[in-house]
Amino acid sequence: MIRFEGVSRKFGEVLAVDGLDLEVFDRELCVLVGPSGSGKSTVLRMVNRLVEPSEGLVFVDGREVGSLKVETLRLGIGYVIQGVGLFPHLTVAANVAVVPELLGWPKGRIARRVGDMLELVGLDPGRYGRRFPFELSGGEAQRVGVARALASDPPILLMDEPFSAVDPVNRLRLQTEFLAIQRTLRKTVVFVTHDVDEAIRLADRVAVLKSGRLIQYDVPETLLERPNSPFIADFVGADRALKRLSRFTVRDWMQPTAGTTDAAIAVDLDASLRDALSTMLGSRARTIRVHDRDHRPAGEIGLQDIERAAECGTR
């Protein structure tokens, strides 16, 4: 669990973080979101002491981070950054092995772990292990970044705009894959983004920041239904109902009656209901087919299923 108590941070005369009180709960994915300059990255970087607070205290598992040896603290916290920051002179496998090696794991255990991690993020260890970062696409590099952060199985994961540099299609896939990983691993995650849609889609709880101050901290449903200020209402946008739909997946609301619809239009099993609705509106169809990753038919989903989801408050 991560706790901020009255934390402020000044850079010169600029107050980047202003009197922050925030608690990130165990095994939750907490998204810090806000416009640029809201201080969200600074908040994240104070957890692993890449930035030290000017005032106030940060606690990880009840211990004040300033009281811990900085390397020890960081070795227990996974870290993923926007530009990935893979070591360009090391292979993919060596990149993933960095933290286990710092921890002095035996060679065999490291090799097994590297293989497991690459498989976890959907990369074939045999194909990718010996490649260099410059031989990877943006999405693949981002996956390696996640694998590297998870390699020593740290309880906490810090992710600073990890998917911002990839194109929208790949971003959606990375988000879906990461959600699936998070559902099994249940890490305590602090995730920074400037993208409200990404925040709503991924978060267990969203903290909206503005000019270094925490404006609202709630589960996404509450944030969308009861914004506490005009700023939040404006920030989440007028398409709140649609944003809520982005938290539901087709998989959970479709009818598994494969092959009954002859509609030509299809949507992916892991797509959100928002995407499904968009596909329906775009194709003027009230019902569309659902297929899995390998384009095998999995069922169908209709407008009434989406309405059902929209009326239902929670996931």
The tokens for 72 are 């020890």
Number of residues that bind another protein (CB under 8 A): 30
How remote is the C-alpha of 220 from its chain's centroid?
Answer: 14
Query: x/- site string to another protein, residues 256 to 295, per CB under 8 A?
Result: ----------------------------------------
Q: How far is the CB of 1 from another protein (least distance, A)?
A: 20
**Smallest gap from residue 6 Cβ to another protein (A):** 24
Strand partners, 272: 249
Min dist CB 100 to another protein, Å, is 11
Comparing CB distances to another protein, the nearer of 149 and 277 is 149
**255 phi and psi, to 5 degrees?**
-105, 120
Binding positions for another protein, 21-60, rule CB under 8 A: 48, 50
What minimum distance in Å lies between the beta carbon of 278 and another protein? 34
In the chain the beta strands, taken as DSSP E runs, fall at: 2-11, 14-24, 29-33, 55-60, 63-64, 77-81, 156-160, 188-193, 205-210, 213-218, 266-268, 287-291, 297-302
Instruction: Measure the CA–CA gap between 125 and 290, rounded to whole angstroms.
Output: 30
Residue with smaller CB distance to another protein, 50 or 185: 50
Apex 163 CA angle, 281 and 151, nearest 5: 130
Footprint on residues 150-209 left by another protein (CB under 8 A): 158
Query: 88 or 313: whose CB is closer to another protein?
Result: 88
Cβ closer to another protein: 92 or 172?
92
**Least distance (Å) between residue 75 CB and another protein:** 4
CA distance 276 to 302: 9
Give the nearest distance from C-beta 126 to another protein in angstroms: 14
99 vs 269, which CB is nearer to another protein? 99
Between 114 and 214, name the residue whose CB sits nearer to another protein: 114
Positions 63 through 122 that interact with another protein (CB under 8 A): 71-75, 77, 79, 81-89, 98-99, 102
Q: Which C-beta is closer to another protein: that of 11 or that of 87?
A: 87
CB of 85 to another protein, least distance (A): 3
Taking the alpha carbons at both ends of the chain, their separation in whole angstroms is 24
Which residues, 6+ apart, have CB-to-CB distance to 107 below 8 Å? none
Site for another protein in 115-154 (CB under 8 A): 130-135, 148-149
Q: What is the dihedral of CA 215, 217, 218, 220, to 10 degrees?
A: 70
Residues 6+ apart with CB under 8 A from 302: 255, 286, 287, 288
Q: How far is the CB of 139 from another protein (least distance, A)?
A: 17
DSSP state of 85: -
φ, ψ (nearest 5 deg) of residue 243: -60, -35
Nearer CB in complex with another protein: 89/284: 89
The residues that touch another protein, with contacts defined as CB under 8 A, are 48, 50, 71-75, 77, 79, 81-89, 98-99, 102, 130-135, 148-149, 158
